[in-house]
Structures are given as structure tokens and as C-alpha cells.
Structure 1
Amino acid sequence: MVRTGCRRLRLSVGVCLVCAALQGGTAHAQDYGKPLDMPVLQSSSNFGKLRSTRFHSGVDFRTGGVEGKRVLAVEDGQIYRIGVKPYGYGNVVYVAHPDGNISVYGHLSKFTPEVEAYVRSERYRQQRNDIDLFPEAGRFPVKRGEVIGLSGNSGNSFGPHLHFEIREGASQRTVNPIARGYYRVKDDLPPRIFGVSYYLVDTLMGVPVHTLAGRAAAIGGSGARYTLEAPMVLPGRGYFCVETMDRKNDVSGSMATYRIVLSVDGQTRLEYLMDGFTFGENHFAKVLSDYVLNGTTSNDVFRLAVLNEGAMPFYPRAVGRGLIDPASGIDEVRIEVEDDSGNTAVLTFPVTYDPSAAAATVSIPTDAEAVDFRRHYSRTTDGLKVTIPAGALYESLFYEQEKLSGRPAVTVGKGTHILSDFYAVHDASVPLQAPVTLSFRADVPEELRERVVIARLTDKGRLAAAPAKYADGAVTGRASLFGIWCAAADTVNPTVTPSFRSGTDMSGERRIGFRISDDFSGVASYSATVDGEWVMLEHDTVHGMLYHYFDDEVCGTGRRHEVELRVTDGAGNTAVYRGSYYR
């Protein structure tokens, strides 16, 4: 089954100006061209794949492990946005089409010569290494099948490939191009279902409590039909989680789940649908999945329930938030999993109700406090004040924080100063929807006050820093994760190691490179000059390299050049390299 039918939407003002100038026909479902000039397109990750704290927003296409494949416009349109970033999509082109959609092409190695010249001119004019550009309407029209760049490995890319998206122009909502019918792929393989878990849900002092009550493996699979070895015993009101994965022909690895329908005795209780999302909704991946189990498997573990009473995307149907009450008398549960090509797998199993099978009584820690996710909350414990804004939590919880009795096992680099005790700030496995504020009372020497950070203890026993400020005897910063935290200072400069020897003749080379790193607060900014003039740098964040590609028009040739590179970390420490080369 392949879905068809494009949605026509009025574009936002910025995009509308572009599309108003376009001439030609409207693209229809199943009518977009190939984004890569390759005989066969093979994806390595599809739309909506769970990636820890987010969903994958497009389709990744393999390029045979090499860069430089021709990237093609999938339909007539105009380039309305161009980005050069060290992270994310790297070098990226956005094309607006007459049907109101936008196509996105990320991780490029090169733009077309005309676009390269425009980007170069703007980067020099603004003296920016990373840049977001919106060229005027009519400047870069493109035709279907026209080359708009070359594939690459820029940005957060761990191997050459093309990241491709289709977005609705008005909302910038990225959509599933296979489910929408813009493309057909070879896919006659149904998803696989591995098992289910059941969680009891109770409410204590207005706080929902989730208790694992049972887990069972799915058996069968013949004809994509599954069951359980025995009826599942449900001790009380709760919800199911399902572990699943999708497959596609000629593609290795786990693909994303498109749709899940939970039915009880023939009545639909909940539907999950990965048809599209805005980037403001991406963070819901942290709670749509079972965030504890999801880290233990390469498959996807979906929570078949809405966590709280608020609005949640991705659930077009949710009766009673998807919660099950076995005491009302139910016999059979059916979970249908569908991929974006219409292939389905079904798990059907009987259930029984036995309240005596309930887990042990849930106890509330003596120092825990009930926190309503809809309200502002703050708490001070032995020198640490934690402030949780309204809406920072996904649901209400029993919140805990305490000062640790001693310093945990931690690897601290030279020049890292621990300025406070360590504190356990709730549970690191519980996700946050927005940052919380941590304020540590600390007697900070004056020479360290401009170098303070807050630092979280990682699973590897190292410290990961977040920006902070010192004022009125406290180090204050924002944390996006619960866990073990302290206040610290970073006084070590980043490291800069050139890949060439100063004074070398570089006449036969295309570029000079520098390996840069910072082992605590991270590289925050960098800038370079040649003979006192600002020059562009390309940042390969995956390999920790900065490159300057020689620009003879700016720097000239046939002489010695003086180069200066400044790299600053998140605490304000700056390393300066000065050297020379001949060209």
C-alpha cells in the first residue's frame, strides 16, 4: 500500500516571496525526482527513526562511502536558504517548490560554482565561518534533475551520505516522504515485533507512579503474526510498551516504525503515527519511547500511552490516554505495527486480571517532594539550589536531591578546579523537556571567577561542562540533564596542533589544517587571519580539525604568509597559534 496525495499549503512570508516568482507546473505525489545521481538509491536511515533524544527528520542515502556524488533538485524551484555549519546538516541547501513544499539536502561537500561564489562573498563580508543565508527571490532558480551540489560528509556526519528531507513550507514541518507517496521504495518486508512490557500506573499525592509488572517475548512471526507463550497477567490499571523494528529490502539495520495501533477487545485505544513533526516537537522522542529500556536494545521500545493530561503530538487517537483497566473485564489485546510502505505485523494475545500479582507496595523516599510539572518549583539542599520551571518536566514526579558524602570516582584534567561538593540531582534516566537551573554556593578565588562552569559526571567518570556565571557567592548555570553535578572552573587553554611545519612551502597544497581540542568546556569559537586579513575556516567536528582552503584572490601568491589562529573554549580560555607558510 502506498499513500498518495500532496497537501497544498500557503507558505510563510519568507518562502512565499520565493514561490511567488516560480513558474511551471505543480509537483504531485509520486512525482519527485531522485535527489542523487546514482543508478540505485539505498537508504541507511529512514524518516522518524528514534535517536535517543530525537527523531530522524529525513532519509539518509548512501553514497558508496565516497564524497562528490551529484546531488539533484527533485523538482523545479528556487534555492531560498543556504547553510554552512560545523554541526547539524553541515553544508546544506533548501529548495522551495511551487507545491508549497521544501526539499533539503544536507552534509554537502560543495555547492554549485554560482552558489559557492555567493556563500564565499557573504562569509567574507560578514566575517563568519558558520552562516545562514536567504538569497533574494529569483537569484538561484533550479530545474528538476539539475545539479545543486556534491554529496559529502560535513556537519554531524560519521560517513559520506546525503541527508534528504521534504518539509511543508508554511510550518517547516518535516514529513515522511515515503508515507506521503512522494517516493516508492522496494519494501515488502513487514516490521518485526519482539515483545511487550506492562507498567502499572497509580497516583500518589498527584504524582503518577510507573511500576514494571511484567514482560513477555513475542513468538511466531509466520505471516507477520505474533502471539505470546502464555496469557499476560495484568495486576491493575496500566499501559503497554512494545519492542519493534522495521526492515526494508536490500537495507541492513533497523528502520523506523511508522504506525502502531493498540486495540482492546476490538476497540482502538491508541494510535501512534510518524507522519511528520515540527522541530519544536522533536524532543518528545524522549518520552514516546521507554527511555529506560530503549538504551538497552538496538530496536525501538514505544510507550503505548500518553504520559500526562497535556497535548502530545504523534497520537491522533488516544482513548483514556491509552491506559488499560483490566478490572473492567478484558480478554484480548491486539498491537498492529505498520511501516511507511504499508506492510504490517500483528501481535495478538490474551490477558488475565489478577490483582494479587501486583508488585510490592511503592514507597516514597523520605526526602522526596511531589513536584507538579505544571508549576514552578525550587529546592535548596546544603549549598545547592535547584530551580525547575513550569513545563520543564514531562510529568509530575517525586523529586530528590542530596549532597554526596564524598567525591565520586572522577577523572579530572590538569587545570580543572572543583569548586563545590557533588550533588545527586534526581535521576539521570528521567528526561527533561527544558533546562533546570543549578546554583552552587562556592567560595571562588577571584582569578577563577571568569572561568566557572557547572559540570556533570558522565557514565565514563569524566566531567562534562555547561556554561555558568559567578555572582554573589554562587556559581549558576542551566542543566539539560538530571544527574550528579558540581561547580568547577576551567583554566586550561584549548590545544592547537598544526598539520604543517611553520615556514613550509605550501605551493602544491590546497589547504592547511589544525587539530583542535578542549577536554572540558569544549571549543566555543575560532577565527583565523592570514597577513592580518580574516580568512574562512572549515570545521570538521567529527575529527576535530580546522581547515583553511587557500584563497589566492584574497591572500596572493609567491611570498611568505603569516597565519594566526585563535581558539576559545566555553570558559573563555584562548589558545593562539602563530606561524607562517610560503605560497
Structure 2
Amino acid sequence: MRFYLIIFFAFISQLSPAQKSYPTDYFDPPLKIPIVLAGTFGELRSNHFHSGIDIKTQGKEGLPIYAAADGYVSRIKVGQYGFGKALYLKHPNGYSTVYAHLQKFAPAIQKHVKKTQYAKKKYAIGNLFPSQDMFPVKKGQLIGYGGDTGSSGGPHLHYEIRESKTDRIINPLLFGLHPKDTIAPLIKFLLAYPMDVASRVNNGASKTALPLKKTGPGTYRTNPITASGEIGFGLAVFDRLNGASNKNGVYSIKMKVNGQTVYYHDVESFTFAESKYINLHIDYPYYKSYKQRVQKTHKVTTNRLKLYKTLVNNGVITISPAQNYSIDIIAKDIENNSSTIHIPVKGVAANAVFTQKDTTAFKIKANEFIRFQDKNVQVAFPKNTFYEDCFIDFSVEEGVAHIHNTTIPLDKRYTLTFETGYLSALQKQQVYIANVNYPKYPRYVSTKKKLDKVYTSTKALGSYTLKFDTKKPTIQPLNFYNKQWISKNKTLKVKIKDRQSGIRSFKASIDGEWILMEYNHKRGILTYDFSDKKLVGSKHIFKIVVADNVGNTKTLKATFFKK
């Protein structure tokens, strides 16, 4: 009897999602305005889960950002993409906070950063790691200003809380921050999946959409369905918070079968190493085909995410003939507003099993190195590039390499190589590899050259070809012209553009001395701040050299007068 009790309580503990206790009065909000979110923690993004919360800054840049608690600046990051300008603070309670997409830093930090940029003669300086006593901060102390730097889609503050020792990222809303949210998640649609060749849903062997009927506030229902064998489900769902129209992510999804929880995950925390497995958490082929992210309530074996707190048979439901099943899927936000789908299922006898024949000779064994060649193109897939064994299409037609399509997610990069021995010396200089999944908008991919070959490393299947960039970049002065007096100007601005391979680098100087120009790549605008250095005299020579990704360069020289 004692043995059975142990098993019973072990089973119950597995089915009871546990959440760690976090300090809810330690951190202050990083902005002194009402907190409204544009993005939630764990939200589904391209190839990753969102690692923080995005706090709206009232549509503008320059709002003061404050330290959430006592501590010190442990890391400063300045990059062209990603977080842009970011600060990392360590706190004595074992946590760190991150503040990203800043317009600029507080004066002392800003001075240190600019000194480093001028010493290295580059804008993007990666990471700086100040000593513990260099920039101590107190709770509520000004540390920077909200901005739109890096890969930001508009002015906001990206805010994170991490465990300092492990760098594990934790949902900031578990630390006492409560943006107003009284709105239940909105469920857009539901998919049902026959999980193998012997399984059926409504007598079909393919995944199928189940129409939803709203039966009340936050409650939905499908028509009764028939099924046999092993089946699974997936739902497209988003959450809205008060005061914002953004479609945010939900906090948790649970699935019950006849009252028993068989699937549960939440976005309490995760690591950056896990984040790429989002492509196994969602229905990746559906997303690539229809641009809709569907969260599956079943888990594949190669998915190493640790978000899942309860999994019975990995969330796969076995349907027996002549049995009735009551299935409920519940989506919640962090404030416990919830929406539920009820799915009545009747088990029926399985019909004939149809096996799908493979129609391609290009077989992938996930645990083996694979290389394919066609005409002048070679693809090489390292071991475990793919998550599972599969067949892919591969062909080269009219110079375009078709490497299956974009619906299979990859765990690693593979190498794509084009032979270029037939090109002239000039063509070899101008050539680059372009992604042509959308033929009207070819996109440069990082291209390396070696003798009679060009190659790239990528994690995206699809169509690629060789393109040639024969044109120089363009440079357009924005707030000055040649031989102009600009004494009232606080900045010097130019717009740069390259319509083919794209901008690779730029270098600017005034009177022969290197100057720091901050690049807004979303607008193509470079800005120099005259406060960086006092000019001597009134006549000055501005020079900028811009290079594209194949080495075409454009130079602009202009004289300006300023006292």
C-alpha cells in the first residue's frame, strides 16, 4: 500500500506545476510613467522567445530610464543590431537587470563609452565590462534614456531580469510589476493533428482546422469530432493588455483530457540556449506557409525546451474506438485571465492505413554528415543540422539553387557553395550570394570568397542564386551642403544607401581626424554630434567613404564653415 501511495504522490507532483517564489518588492519600475507593454516575456518571435518585456515610452525617445534596484553596471553593450545600446546591472540579491534599445546612457557612462569608441575608431564596440566600483548605482538613479537603437521596431524599453550566476532569464512580471490587464487571451483558431499514418481526425489523415464557436466570455467550443489513433492539437492565441492594441504572448497553456492535465507549459523562465527550440514548439511548417504561429500542445522528442511542467505521453492523446473524450485547452495570461476551448471527441475504428511514398533521392539522416552536388552548386549539412530524418528536394535550375523550401527548421548552419571558375576577374569581385525566396526582392546573404568559389553559411533552406553588384553606394547630405555656414547645427547628417548587396562599412573624418557617426540602419541616416570635439578655426573638410558588401566604394567630400 505504501508503495502505491509513493507512486500516486509522485504522479500528482508531476502534474502540479510549481513556480519559484520571487521577491515582489525589491525592484522598482525602470520608468516613472504608467507601465504599458508592447511585448510580453516568452512571446513568440522569429527563431526565439522574447527574453524580456517591452515597455512603451509614449511613442517617443529620450524618456529617463532608472535603475530598478541598488547595484552596479556590470556590462555595457553598443551594437548596430540586436539590443543596440544596452546596460546590464548586477544587484546584491543575485539578480541582474537589463535595459536595451537606449538612445544614450547617463552622462558618466556615455562619456566612458564615447572615449572607448574614439579609441577603437568604431561605433559598435560590442561589450564593455566595467569594474564593480566604476559605475555603482542606487535604486531610482538615472542610468540612460529610452530609445530605438538596434533591432527595435519603434521607441520602447526592453527590460529583463536574469539570475546573475546562471544568466537564466525570468519573467519580470513575477517580480511585482503589474501592468493593468483585465482582458482574457483571444483564441484565433485551433488545429488538430493525426500524429502518425494510422491516425485520423474526422476521417482525415492530415492536420485540419476545427471551427470555433464562442459560447461566452473567454469560452469556445468546437463541433464534436471523430478520431482514431494518436492525435494532438495546436492553437493560435494572443493576449491584449489594457491601454494597448499590441498582440502579446500568453503566459501558459494547459490541456486536460477527461479532467486530467496531460499538457502544461508556462513562460516563467528559460535560457538563451533553449530559445531556438521555439521552432519545434510551434507548428513551423504552418508558420512558414501562412505567417501564423500555432503553439502545439504536444512535444516532439528532439525539443529540449524546459518550459513544460506537465507532459503525459508528451501531450499526445490516444483515442480508442467507441470511447468518448472531453478535451479542454486553457490559455492564461499572467494575471489569470483565461480562455478555454472545449473539444468533444468520439473514438471510432481506424480506417485503412496509407503510407506516403518518398519521391526524392535526397535523403537526410539527421545524425550523419550529408553532402549533395548539382551542376555548379554544393550543399553540405553537418551532423545534426536537421532535427529528424527526412527527404528534401534539391535542384539547380537556370542558376538558382532550390534547397527544398523554408518549412523545415534547422538546428545548425549548413554550407552552400557556388563554383565561379567561369566568371571573369571583375565578375568575381562583384558577385555575391542572394536569397531569392521572394524573387522580386533578392536579399544579400553573407558571402565569402575563395579562389574559384563563393560560399555562405546559413540556417535557412530555400532558393539561392548568384547576383552581381555593379553600382556604388549613394551618399546624400541632409542638413548641410558644400561651402555652407552651419554654425547653428548641432549635428552633421548624411543618408547612405546601397540597393544591391547593401552597406558593409563607412568611415568619416573632419579635417583628417576620425569622427563617430551613429548609424540608424532603419532610416539609412548617419549622424555626427558636434559636441564630441571642439573644432579649431571656421573652415572644415568633411569626408566620408562608404563601402558595400562586394567592395564598391563611394566618397563624399564637402567643405563647411562653423564657429
Runs of 4+ in 1 over 6 A off after TM superposition: 296-299, 357-360
Correspondence for 2:501:
521
For 1:529, give the aligned amino acid: S
Matched, 1:287 2:280: yes
Query: Is 2:541 aligned against 1:548?
Result: no
Q: Which residue of 2 aligns with 1:439?
A: 417
Relative to structure 1, the CA distance from residue 110 to residue 479 in structure 2 (aligned partners, 3 Å threshold; closer, same or farther) is closer
Moved more, 186-195 or 383-392: 186-195
- Describe the shift of the 1:461–1:539 C-alpha distance in structure 2 as closer, same or farther (beyond 3 A): same
Counterpart of 2:253 in structure 1: which amino acid?
A: I
- The question of 1:320 aligning with 2:313 is answered yes
Q: State the distance in 1 between where 2:522 and 2:267 align.
A: 29
The structural deviation recorded for 1:98 is 0.9
Partner Cα separation in structure 2 for residue 259 and residue 380 of structure 1: 45
Of the three residues 356, 365, 368, the one matched with 1:362 is: 356
CA displacement, residues 341-389 of structure 1 (integer Å, 9 cap, x when unaligned): 2222222221123466789753422x24331223221111233211111
Matched residue, 1:31: 26
Q: Which residue of 113, 118, 125 maps to 1:119?
A: 113
Deviation for aligned residue 1:4: 7.1
Q: What amino acid is the match of 1:530?
A: I
- Equivalence for 1:176: 171
How far, CA to CA, are the matches of 2:147 and 2:309 in structure 1?
Answer: 37
Query: 1:109: how far off?
Result: 1.8
What is the distance in 1 between the residues matched to 2:161 and 2:432? 39
Q: Per-residue CA shift, 1:129-168, capped at 9, x if unaligned? A: 1122111111111111111112122222232222211122
Q: Tell me the residue number matched to 1:276.
A: 269
**1:297 positional shift:** 7.3
8 A contact 2:286–2:292 mirrored in 1: no
Structure 2 SS opposite 1:252: coil
Q: Residues 171-570 of structure 1 correspond to what in structure 2 (within 5 A)?
A: 171-178=166-173, 180-202=174-196, 212-228=206-222, 230-294=223-287, 300-309=293-302, 311-327=304-320, 331-354=325-348, 362-365=356-359, 367-404=360-397, 406=398, 421-442=399-420, 443-459=422-438, 461-471=440-450, 473-499=452-478, 500-551=480-531, 553=533, 555-570=534-549
Q: 1:321 to 1:67 in 2, by over 3 A?
A: same
Task: Give the distance between the partners of 2:67 and 2:52, measured in 1 at CA.
Answer: 16
Deviation (angstroms), 1:494: 2.0
Change in Cα spacing, 1:248 to 1:225, as seen in structure 2 (3 Å) is: same
| Equivalence map 1:49-60=2 (5 Å) | 49-60=43-54
Give the match for residue 138 of structure 1.
133
SS state of the match for residue 226, structure 2? strand
- C-alpha contact 1:452 1:469 (8 A) present in aligned 2: no
Deviates more, 1:482-491 or 1:290-299: 290-299
Q: Could you say if the C-alpha distance between residues 311 and 3 of structure 1 is closer, same or farther in structure 2, counting changes exceeding 3 Å? A: closer
Q: What are the superposed Cα offsets for residues 52-81 of structure 1, whole Å, 9 maximum, x if unpaired?
A: 332222111222222221111111111111
**Post-superposition CA distance 1:528-572 (Å, at most 9, x none):** 11111111110111111111111463x524321112212222223
The amino acid across from 1:445 in the alignment is S
Contact 1:244 1:299 (C-alpha < 8 Å) held by counterparts: no
Structure 1 CA distance, aligned partners of 2:403 and 2:289? 23
Taking the aligned partners of 1:181 and 1:359, their CA distance within structure 2 comes to: 52
Most deviating of 516-525 and 320-329: 320-329
Q: For the Cα contact (< 8 Å) 2:87–2:99, is it kept in 1?
A: yes
Structure 2: give runs of 5+ residues left out of the alignment. 1-17, 199-203
SS at match of 2:206: strand
Give 5+ residue unaligned stretches, structure 1: 7-27, 205-209, 407-420
CA 428–355 in structure 1, closer or farther in 2 if over 3 Å, else same: farther
State the distance in 2 between where 1:557 and 1:355 align. Answer: 89
- Report the CA distance between 1:95 and its aligned residue: 1.1
Q: 1:386-438, CA deviations, whole angstroms, 9 ceiling, x for partnerless residues?
A: 1111222233321111122x4xxxxxxxxxxxxxx112111123222222111
The 3 A distance-change label for structure 1 pair 184 and 70 is same
Deviation at residue 311 of structure 1 after TM alignment: 2.9
Amino acid at match of 1:364: D
Question: Partner letter of residue 498 of structure 1?
Answer: P
Question: What is the number of residues matched between the two proteins?
Answer: 536
Kindly tell me: are residues 79 and 552 of structure 1, through their superposed partners in 2, closer, same or farther at Cα, counting changes over 3 Å?
closer
- The 3-state SS of whatever aligns with 1:247 is coil
Cα deviation for residue 211 of structure 1 reads 6.0
Give per-residue Cα distances to partners, 1:158-201, cap 9 Å, x unaligned. Answer: 322222111221222222111x2331232232222233212223
Identity value in percent: 28
Partner Cα distance (2:246, 2:270) in 1: 23
Alignment of 1:30-179 (within 5 A): 30-38=25-33, 40-131=34-125, 132-178=127-173
Q: Select between 562-571 and 73-82 the one with higher mean Cα deviation.
A: 562-571
User: 1-side partners of 2:110 and 2:215: how far apart?
Assistant: 52
Separation of aligned partners in 2, 1:36 and 1:551: 27
For 2:440 and 2:348, the matched residues in 1 are separated by: 44
Q: What TM-score, normalized by structure 1, do the two folds share?
A: 0.85
Whichever residue aligns with residue 156 of structure 1, its letter is S
Q: Which amino acid aligns with 1:164?
A: Y
SS state at 1:287 partner:
helix
In structure 2, distance between residues paired with 1:151 and 1:274: 26
What amino acid maps onto 2:510 in structure 1? V
Distance 1:252 1:296, change over 3 A: farther
Question: In 1, are the aligned partners of 2:237 and 2:294 still within 8 Å (CA)?
Answer: yes
Evaluate the alpha carbon distance shift between residue 297 and residue 247 of structure 1 in structure 2; reply closer, same or farther with a 3 A threshold. Answer: farther
Give the 3 Å change call, closer, same or farther, for CA 185–158 of structure 1 in structure 2: closer
Q: Following the alignment from structure 2 to structure 1, what is the Cα–Cα distance between the partners of residues 89 and 205?
A: 48
How big is each residue's C-alpha offset from its partner over 1:17-49, in whole Å with a ceiling of 9 and x where there is no partner?
xxxxxxxxxxx32431111122x1211111122
8 Å CA contact 2:508, 2:516 repeated in 1: yes
Counterparts in 2 of 1:468 and 1:297: CA distance versus 1, 3 Å: closer
1:227 Cα deviation (Å)?
A: 1.7
TM-score, normalization by structure 2: 0.88
Answer yes or no: is 1:574 the counterpart of 2:548. Answer: no
- Counterpart position of 2:5: none
Deviates more, 1:386-395 or 1:510-519: 386-395
Residue 493 of structure 1 and its aligned partner are, at CA, apart by: 2.4
User: How far, CA to CA, are the matches of 2:207 and 2:346 in structure 1?
Assistant: 13
1:272 shift after superposition: 2.3
Distance 1:185 1:552, change over 3 A: closer
Q: Distance in 2 between matches of 1:360 and 1:547?
A: 63
